[in-house]
Amino acid sequence: MVLRKFVDALPIPSVIKPCGTHKGKPFYKVQMLEALHQFHRDLPETRVWGYNGMVPGPTFEVEQNHPIYVKWENKLPLKQFLPLDTTIHGAHDTPEVRTVVHLHGSPSEPDSDGFPEAWFTRDFRQTGPDFVKETYYYTNSERAAGLWYHDHALGITRLNVYAGLAGLYFIRDKHEQSLPLPKGKYEVPLVVQDKSFNPDGSLFYPKQPDNPSPDLPCPSIVPAFLGDTITVNGKVWPFLKVEPRKYRFRLLNASNTRTYRFKLSNNHSFYLIGTDGGLLARPIKVTSLDVSPAERMDIVVDFSELEGQKIILQDAFETGNPVGEIMEFKVTKPLSRPDRSKVPPFLSHLPKIPLDQVRKIRRITLNDSEDEFGRLMLLFDDKTWMDPPTETPLLNSVEIWELVNQTPGIHPIHIHLVNFRVIGRFTANGTLLPPLPADFGLKDTVLINGGETVRLIMKFQPYSGKYVWHCHRLEHEDHDMMRPLIVLPDKDHKDDPQDPHNH
């Protein structure tokens, strides 16, 4: 069905407030609820699953080093409404829908990280094997950054997130607040997700391919989902009226599979000022930006010379297709006051890249494979989720990971707990490629194009314990491009004086 473009205004997800205190810290309660959501004025209401029933969920705004507790309550129906005809990791053995929340980009303790097996079903009726609890602790110890929270239940993350379980989480710090960047209503979050709708307004998600053999317990999952409609902040192809001045946009690609090459229809340049882990050292002037699932980009667009114009945010990978357009900026609002905001030439101090401290170099392949039934799988080093852990760095140690993509497709690779730095991008035959703009700054997710090798460096801190790392194409993550990350306590190091278990 064809939906009109740019007829609905861009909504801004509301900011959630604490509902009390818990152990002396602000306490938030979020309920996962089934709800009806209006994605477009011409579309009947759509059944969604949202945090507090909202799509995207409510936005958290927290200050650095001000920890909070969040109780994540599952009040969803017991049955998934999207096609779930797989038995991957027993996602079907538990008849009730499993959920667990991960705060993406945060260094949380293992039992507040949303371990995929820490799932629980409605009202905590059934629970997974590990770390299961509803109330999570977030230290907010990192620098100012745009994080996001989303479902992470083993084997069904692709469906839960597609159904709507995702939201934003901003950490603020004094340094960022002291900069003259656009603020308040001139700082706008943009959560981009592709979706497909049935004519009755319901969400469409493809059925799994047919069983290759009648002997199989279940078919393969689809290896990719590409929607035919683009939503921003839960509206289909919205518009935003802007003043002729600078705006800061906090972009999140929360799509299951789709990587975007964002650009403006008039080829206007804009500034990249931050990535996953906060501000860059210096702004980078760009005219397009490749953003894979789960990556966040902090950009400043200056509309001051575009008064009266309509500028479309486009995806240059899809030029000419309906999905090649994302939203429209109408520069039709009068300037309410002079624009004193600036993009300063120096943005933030980034920690030095600890190349001299590297303790281990790992080389890990990204490959496609088949499971015992001949079903397609995407894997790291040919290993599945169930294989014994192999990525077991020591706490406080520095490692280089060389990720070798032997497939033709894009894989956005996400490592929990850490921020890493991208230190090299190479072709299959070893030629150094220029870095992508998004390779700068502190990262937790990196886009790896088909055939490329990417080198990352990171320090495993501040916690030891059981985490995960995975591809953030959710269809890959679910089958089976996800592996444990076990950070081992380092006996040579004294315990951190800020023992995480003292709170």
Q: Which residues bind Cu ion (CB under 5 A)?
A: 411, 471, 473, 476, 481
Q: What tokens were used for 474? A: 């959710």
Binding residues for ligand C2O, rule CB under 6 A, total 10
Q: Any residues with CB less than 8 A from the CB of 210 and at least 6 apart, and which?
A: 219
What tokens does 377 get?
């799988």
Tell me whether residue 266 is exposed, middle or buried, using C-beta atoms within 10 angstroms of its C-beta: 0 to 12, 13 to 18, 19 or more: exposed
How many Å apart are CA 12 and CA 14, to the nearest integer?
6
* Residues in 58-87 that interact with ligand C2O by CB under 6 A: none
Position 473 contacts ligand C2O (CB under 6 A): no
Position among 168, 294, 458, 481 found at the interface with ligand C2O (CB under 6 A):
294
Stretch that binds ligand C2O, among 126-134, 222-230, 372-380, 464-472 (CB under 6 A): 464-472
Contact letters for ligand C2O, residues 236-275 (x by CB under 6 A): ----------------------------------------
How far CA 49 is from CA of 52, 57, 163, 386, 401, in Å, comes to 9, 10, 5, 29, 36
Q: How far is the CB of 80 from Cu ion (least distance, A)?
A: 22
Note whether 150 binds ligand C2O by CB under 6 A. yes
What string of H, E and C letters represents the secondary structure of 73-140? Answer: EECCCCCCCCCCCCCHHHCCCCCCCCECEEEECCCCCHHHCCCCCCCECHHHCCECCCCCCCEEEECC
Amino acid at position 374, single letter: G
Does residue number 481 form part of the binding site for ligand C2O (CB under 6 A)? no
Contact 118, 131 (CB under 8 A): yes
Q: Terminal CA-to-CA distance of the chain, rounded, Å?
A: 53
**Helix and strand tally (H, E) in the chain?**
3, 31
Could you tell me whether strands 325-330 and 239-241 are parallel, antiparallel, or unpaired per DSSP bridges? parallel
Least CB distance to ligand C2O at residue 239 (A): 29
Residue 473 interacts with, from Cu ion, ligand C2O, none (CB under 5-8 Å by kind): Cu ion
Residue 471, binding choice from Cu ion, ligand C2O, none, Cβ under 5 to 8 Å by partner class: Cu ion
Task: Choose between 150 and 425: whose C-beta lies nearer to ligand C2O.
Answer: 150
Q: Does 104 bind ligand C2O (CB under 6 A)?
A: yes
* Cβ at position 119, least distance to Cu ion in Å: 22
Q: Is residue 37 a contact point for ligand C2O (CB under 6 A)?
A: no
**Residue 414 · residue 476 · CB < 8 Å:** no
Choice between 280 and 474, CB closer to Cu ion: 474
> For ligand C2O, which is the closer residue by CB, 162 or 239?
162
Looking only at residues 395 through 424 of this chain, which bind ligand C2O when binding is defined by CB under 6 A?
Answer: 414, 416
102 contact, one of ligand C2O, Cu ion, none, CB 5-8 Å limit per kind = ligand C2O
CA angle (405 as vertex; 400, 406 as ends), nearest 5: 135
Of 264 and 446, nearer to ligand C2O (C-beta) is: 446
Q: State yes or no: residue 454 binds ligand C2O (CB under 6 A).
A: no
- Residues within the interface to ligand C2O (CB under 6 A): 102, 104, 150, 152, 294, 414, 416, 468, 470, 472
